[in-house]
Amino acid sequence: MPTLTRRGCLAALAAAGAATALPLGRPVAKAVAPSTDAWSDFEHLDALALADAVRRGDVHPRTLLDAAITRAERTDARINAYSQTLFDAALEAVDAGLPSGPFTGVPFPVKDLGMMIDGTPTLAGSRLFKEHVADHDSELVRRYRAAGLVLYARTTTPELGLTATTESVAHGDTRNPWDLSRIAGGSSGGAGAAVAARMVPMAHATDGAGSIRTPASCCGVFGLKPSRGRVPLGPARTEGWQGLSTGHAITISVRDSAALLDATAAPESGAWYFAPPPQRPWLEETEREPGRLRIALVTDAPTGGPVHADCRSAAADAARLCESLGHFAEPVQLPIDAGAMTDALLAVLAVETRRTLEDRAAVLGRAPSADDVEPVTWMFAERAADYSALDYSRARETFQRITVSMARFMSEWDVVLSPTLAMPPLPLGVINLSPPDLERMIEEVTNFGPFAAVYNVSGQPSMSVPLYWNDDGLPIGTMFSARYGDEAVLFRLAAQLEQVRGWRGRVPWEARKS
């Protein structure tokens, strides 16, 4: 089948009767007079459009911030996306004058885990860190400020980011704006919920085993995990969870994600490694045709666990859509030993959790107890004693073998397409860190999210795209993953999919209610 241009794609789909697609195209910033409720005018604009309105003088950053604060005050009591608000500091930053950047004046929340904001607590979803106040900005935070973003809140996360839902004893349950009885995903659930509810057009997020893509899927928004070494984690460290974790954002639009990566991705001082530089800005990639891609379709969970019919349907629908756009898709199996990968992941999580608690003990001057943290956190910390140095080295070696296998596999494919998750968003209370049955909870988490972690192990870029909603009105994300260092192909494909299956007009009832 010949490769179609985007205009040709749209014409072909229209001729085939694709009238059910949402409105196409990207929004263009329009002149908006400042008002006390400006966010109602801006709700469907992405961050670049808001910054463009500021740049043209159509709206003042203070108006945007006031509107974002109003939005948070109206909405967050029901959703619980923010663990802290930084409204006063944000107002001071705006009044002092913002630097000129691609996102000048755009309100932006930062995940309350790992990233330091000088003079502000980093709570990590844990009671143990309630007095942990940063004495510096993380490098990524410095880059956010230089881009003109206004840091006005911290988003919720489960304790130490250890599960795929954002529920914690410290901060309560973060709820899915599409259905308040269901999870928003984790560990960047606060970011996903805030963006889905249109409290902000984009939010910082991190991903150690799916923690950007899981909430993006649950909340019906776009989430891209960059390649390993692409985004800085320093200055205190330059990798997290032995290279599994990286940071970026959850966004309404593809172009916001691309432009934010342009503004923040560069080597940092002291990094052991960094991803290869792009050929051109990623924002430019969103305007380029992806060409005819070879897509490996994976619908069976690598772990052998069950995959819900809705998730299979979402992946199959995405494959058909891609083929209608001129791409080639073929069912395959990933060349990995999922059992060995899971064992290695559990070893790393246990040891990293134990080290985190011991490092905190050194600051507090006392040993943490089971009363300081949630039961699953404590279980991981105790299990660290079961692993020897040799076990830990073997876990790292397992990661290396999987990375090599995936690199060889990707020599034949441009993209892997799969469900983001194996189930629709779960009810609250199923996979939190204080469950009645600890072992059952680990099994439930593994069954819920079996597709994402392999790309943390291999370091490949991976994204969840909101292309499908089930009969219950819940979003079901589709995951696309590319070769290491090739975010460009993902941005080109995502922009094409956004053109023909635009999702920005789909807003959950919580956003409409506010």
Task: Determine the pLDDT at residue 514.
Answer: 60
Encode pLDDT of 270-303 as tens digits: 999 999 999 999 999 999 999 999 999 999 999 9
Helix (H) and strand (E) counts in the chain: 18, 15
**Residue given tokens 């409290």 in the structure block:** 199
Could you give the CA distance from residue 282 to residue 490 in angstroms, rounded to a whole number?
10
HEC string of 455-485?
A: HHHHCCCEEEEEEEECCCCCEEEEEEEECCC
Task: Determine the pLDDT at residue 39.
Answer: 45
**Residue given tokens 């490949």 in the structure block:** 460
CB 421 within 8 A of CB 217: yes
Task: Determine the pLDDT at residue 9.
Answer: 33
Residue by residue, DSSP assigns 279-297 as SS-HHHHTTS---S-EEEE
- Is the dihedral angle over the CA atoms 490, 405, 206, 231 positive or is it negative? negative
- Give the CA distances from residue 334 to residues 209, 299, 303, in Å, rounded to whole numbers and listed in that order: 17, 10, 11
For the record, the structure tokens of 357 come out as: 């608690």
- Give me the amino acid identity at 210: G
Could you give the CA distance from residue 315 to residue 332 in angstroms, rounded to a whole number?
13
Task: Determine the pLDDT at residue 389.
Answer: 96
CB 188 within 8 A of CB 157: yes
Task: Determine the pLDDT at residue 234.
Answer: 92
Could you give the CA distance from residue 115 to residue 63 in angstroms, rounded to a whole number?
27
Task: Determine the pLDDT at residue 76.
Answer: 97
**Residue given tokens 């609250």 in the structure block:** 428
Task: Determine the pLDDT at residue 439.
Answer: 86
Angle between helix 254-264 and helix 139-146 axes, rounded to 10 deg: 110
Paired residues of 151 in beta bridges: 108
Residue 380 φ/ψ, nearest 5 degrees: -60, -45
Query: 6-17+36-513: which CATH architecture?
Result: Alpha-Beta Complex (3.90)
Catalytic residue IDs: 111, 187, 211
CB 132 within 8 A of CB 122: yes
Considering all CA atoms of the chain, what is the largest pairwise distance in Å, rounded to the nearest integer? 70
Encode pLDDT of 69-92 as tens digits: 999 999 999 999 999 999 999 999
All structural domains of the chain with their residue ranges: 6-17+36-513
Report the chain (514 residues): mean pLDDT per 10 consecutive residues.
32 30 26 40 85 94 94 95 98 97 98 97 97 96 98 98 98 98 98 97 98 98 98 92 96 98 96 95 98 98 97 98 98 96 97 97 96 97 97 97 98 98 98 94 95 98 98 98 98 98 89 66
Residue by residue, DSSP assigns 189-246 as HHHHHHHHTTS-SEEEEEESSSTTHHHHHHHTSEEEE--TTSS---SS-S-BGGGTBE
C-alpha 71 chain-centroid distance: 22
Angle between helix 487-500 and helix 309-324 axes, rounded to 10 deg: 90
| End-to-end CA separation in angstroms for the chain | 46
Angle between helix 309-324 and helix 6-15 axes, rounded to 10 deg: 120
Could you give the CA distance from residue 123 to residue 130 in angstroms, rounded to a whole number?
6
Could you give the CA distance from residue 75 to residue 198 in angstroms, rounded to a whole number?
10
C-alpha 354 chain-centroid distance: 25
Task: Determine the pLDDT at residue 11.
Answer: 32
The H or E element spanning position 108 is strand 107-111
Task: Determine the pLDDT at residue 512.
Answer: 67
